[in-house]
């Protein structure tokens, strides 16, 4: 089994601090740039699972970099360079403490809430009579708060965001505009690959007074995709859609009695389970990008990353 990178502890020149997120480790260099390492950690239900998934970090980083480049004409984004397959270096921004989630279809947590009788999500009214995986007439934005590790993201409405001063009305208008434009572009790119971009999330921040798109974009960790082929037939028959997303990991956990609730135990992640998840991520990568995935060398991941980032920072 290939090695997975689950923890980093670098000390780059000019490093001020490091933040270990659920999946990414973010190094602050001189309060100017961020070195974001996409580790092989995997999280579900806001819990970091005990085993890393080989190549996952490389795949997520390369998908995000590709889509940041493909949407740079829509809004400024934080990316400066990808000095290593698992690393993006970018502009340091002060992040808005909300995630902009946009949904084109009723599924996932929104469907689970709807099925239990909820008809309003984040201040957005959902009509009666909808079915699982049904397309909304227009995409809807259902923001969440940005949780710290160990805490759960919480739904929040536009009105609450403004009332709590998490963004000004002018800022929120820009966030909404960018969110819808990015989702439209993502939908168009997905359609070229025979996919439907079902829902996704975006994070934004400010740098020198300008709003930037931050973090990852259109990856299977932050997005859900359906295959276009067979969508209508499956929907009409009430069958599960063929998905390209991390939902298969959540489903495996739920089938084994885990939903991140107190007292629940993560099921054993055997080497076969880990390898299966890695293979599914490779499938995701190749479908989403339309390119063959080239596996990086996993023998000395930390050394390789340290060398590549150090070289980039020295020559920047």
202 Cα distance to chain centroid: 8
Of 78, 35, 16, the C-alpha closest to 206 is 78
- For 25-72, write each residue's pLDDT tens digit: 999 999 999 999 999 999 988 889 999 999 999 999 999 999 999 999
156-215 pLDDT, tens digit per residue, is 999 999 999 999 999 999 999 999 999 999 999 999 999 999 999 999 999 999 999 999
Tell me how far apart the alpha carbons of residues 22 and 6 are, in angstroms, rounded to a whole number.
10
Mean pLDDT in residue range 140-152: 77
Choose between 150 and 299: higher pLDDT. 299
Residue 151 neighbours by CB distance under 10 Å: 10
Residue 17 clears pLDDT 70, i.e. is over it = yes
pLDDT value of position 229: 95
252-256: average pLDDT? 92
Q: What does the pLDDT read at residue 312? A: 96
Q: Would you call 53 helix, strand, or coil by DSSP?
A: coil
pLDDT on residue 246: 80
Confidence at 283, pLDDT banded by 50, 70, 90: confident
Q: Report pLDDT for 147.
A: 65
Contact 45, 250 (CB under 8 A): yes
Picking from 83-97, 162-176, 218-232, 242-256, which range would have the lowest pLDDT averaged per residue? 242-256
Average pLDDT, the chain: 93
Secondary structure element (H or E) that encloses residue 248, with its range: helix 247-255
Axis crossing angle, helix 56-70 with helix 271-289, rounded to the nearest 10: 20
Q: Is the pLDDT of residue 21 over 60?
A: yes
Yes or no: say if 175 and 167 are a contact pair by the CB < 8 Å rule.
yes
CB 69 within 8 A of CB 62: no
256 in Cβ contact with 163 (< 8 Å): no
Cα angle 276, 279, 280 (rounded to 5 degrees) comes to: 90
Q: Give, in order, the Cα–Cα distances in Å from 19 to each of 51, 56, 222.
A: 20, 19, 19
Cα–Cα dist 59/49, whole Å: 18
């Amino acid at each position: 089994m290939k090695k997975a990178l689950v923890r980093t502890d670098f000390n780059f020149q000019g490093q001020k601090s490091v933040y270990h997120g659920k999946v990414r480790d973010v190094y602050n260099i001189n309060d100017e740039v961020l070195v974001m390492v996409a580790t092989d950690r995997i999280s579900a239900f806001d819990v970091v699972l005990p085993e890393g998934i080989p190549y996952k970090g490389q795949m997520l980083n390369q998908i995000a970099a590709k889509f940041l480049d493909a949407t740079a004409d829509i809004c400024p984004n934080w990316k400066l360079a990808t000095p290593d397959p698992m690393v993006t270096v970018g502009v340091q921004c002060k992040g808005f403490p909300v995630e902009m989630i946009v949904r084109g279809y009723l599924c996932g947590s929104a469907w689970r809430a709807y099925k239990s009788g909820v008809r309003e999500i984040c201040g957005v009214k959902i009509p009666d009579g909808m079915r699982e995986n049904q397309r909304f007439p227009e995409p809807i934005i259902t923001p969440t708060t940005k949780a710290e590790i160990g805490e759960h993201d919480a739904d929040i409405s536009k009105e609450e965001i403004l009332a709590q001063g998490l963004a000004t009305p002018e800022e929120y208008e820009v966030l909404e505009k960018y969110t819808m434009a990015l989702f439209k572009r993502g939908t168009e790119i997905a359609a070229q690959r025979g996919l439907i971009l079902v829902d996704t999330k975006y994070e934004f921040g400010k740098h020198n007074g300008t709003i930037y798109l931050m973090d990852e974009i259109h990856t299977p960790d932050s997005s859900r995709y359906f295959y276009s082929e067979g969508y209508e037939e499956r929907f009409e028959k009430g069958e599960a859609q063929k998905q390209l997303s991390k939902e298969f990991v959540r489903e495996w956990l739920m089938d084994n009695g885990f939903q991140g609730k107190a007292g629940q135990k993560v099921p054993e992640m055997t080497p076969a389970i880990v390898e299966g998840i890695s293979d599914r991520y490779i499938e995701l990568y190749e479908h989403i990008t339309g390119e063959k995935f080239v596996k990086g060398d996993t023998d000395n991941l930390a050394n390789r990353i340290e060398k590549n980032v150090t070289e980039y920072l020295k020559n920047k």
